[in-house]
Amino acid sequence: MRNFIRFIIKHHFVILFVIIELISILFVVNYNAYQRSVFLSSSNRVSAGMYGTFSEGAEYLMLRQINKELAQENAYLRSRLPESFKASKDYFQLVFDSLSQQEYVYRAAKVINNSTNKRFNYITLNKGANNGIEPEMGVISSRGVVGIVKNVSDNYSTVISVLNTRMKVSARLKESGFFGALEWHGGAYQYAYLREIPRHANVNVGDVIETSGYSSIFPGGILIGTVQEVDLQTGESFYEIKVKLSVDYKNLSYVEVIGHPLKVEQINLEKETIND
């Protein structure tokens, strides 16, 4: 308090001058229409600028919550797509009712750990068995295929990324329907290779690569990437196709885990067929 009084005494002329100036400006603005309009216009611009800045800051701080809500909404909407339902045998037309069996269920999850610079890359999610996550579930993002769930604890799960040399995905050319195996051989995280496409298939740069649907993990038609290069060696029966992956694995925040309630039935039936 003593220092404050000393400051007032030392600078009382400056403080008095500022007070008189403010009073003068107040009189000028109040008793002159033109000056009042200029002042109000300027103050409105300043206020608008400040409100805009505060609004942008608030929106930025809300991005995490917004992304979480969007991921949950995307998972819900995917679960309601016609492709996620298996029609009842008593109906010729697919309908959303209790007689339709849901073939695929989508659950949103957040990426909390991720690697892209190893030969065996894995992703960790913040959802586990308590959230219905199980091994061998497919994982996708809004841009395409991400990987397959490997291990699960109560609250977390690990995912084998497409960027893993032990990983293979059944993929097809969208335009022609020919399918093969997508593999990553290490190196650049943006590219993988599609094998087993026969030489008589029509393949062009820019063609879309998607999941084939010939597995119990991924539904058909989920984007994987596009053809970057096509190579056919002399005497070879199959193309070597370089694929530019649609997912940016260095920028993964939220994903969707695909549940397949009918998977066990499908796998058991296929095992019986193989053993016959």
Q: Does the pLDDT at position 88 exceed 50? A: no
- pLDDT mean over 129-142: 92
pLDDT at 12: 73
pLDDT at 210: 96
pLDDT tens for residues 202-259? Answer: 999 999 999 998 888 998 999 999 999 999 888 889 999 999 999 999 988 889 999 8
* Fold type of domain 66-275: Thrombin, subunit H (2.40.10)
Full DSSP string of the chain = -HHHHHHHHHTHHHHHHHHHHHHHHHHHHHH-HHHHHHHHHHHHHHHHHHHHHHHHHHHHHTHHHHHHHHHHHHHHHHHTSGGGEE--TT-SS--SSTTSEE--EEEEEEEEEE--SSSEEEEEES--GGGT--TT-EEEETTEEEEEEEEE-SS-EEEEEEEETT-EEEEEETTT--EEEEE--SS-TTEEEEEEEETTS---TT-EEEE-S-SSSS-TT-EEEEEEEEE--TT-SEEEEEEEESS-TTS--EEEEEE-TTHHHHHHHHHHHHH-
More confident residue, 271 or 146: 146
- pLDDT mean over 19-42: 68
More confident residue, 257 or 96: 257
Instruction: Locate CATH 2.40.10.340 in the chain.
Output: 66-275
- pLDDT mean over 106-125: 93
Q: Does the pLDDT at position 182 exceed 70? A: yes
- The answer to whether the pTM exceeds 0.75 is no
pLDDT at 11: 76
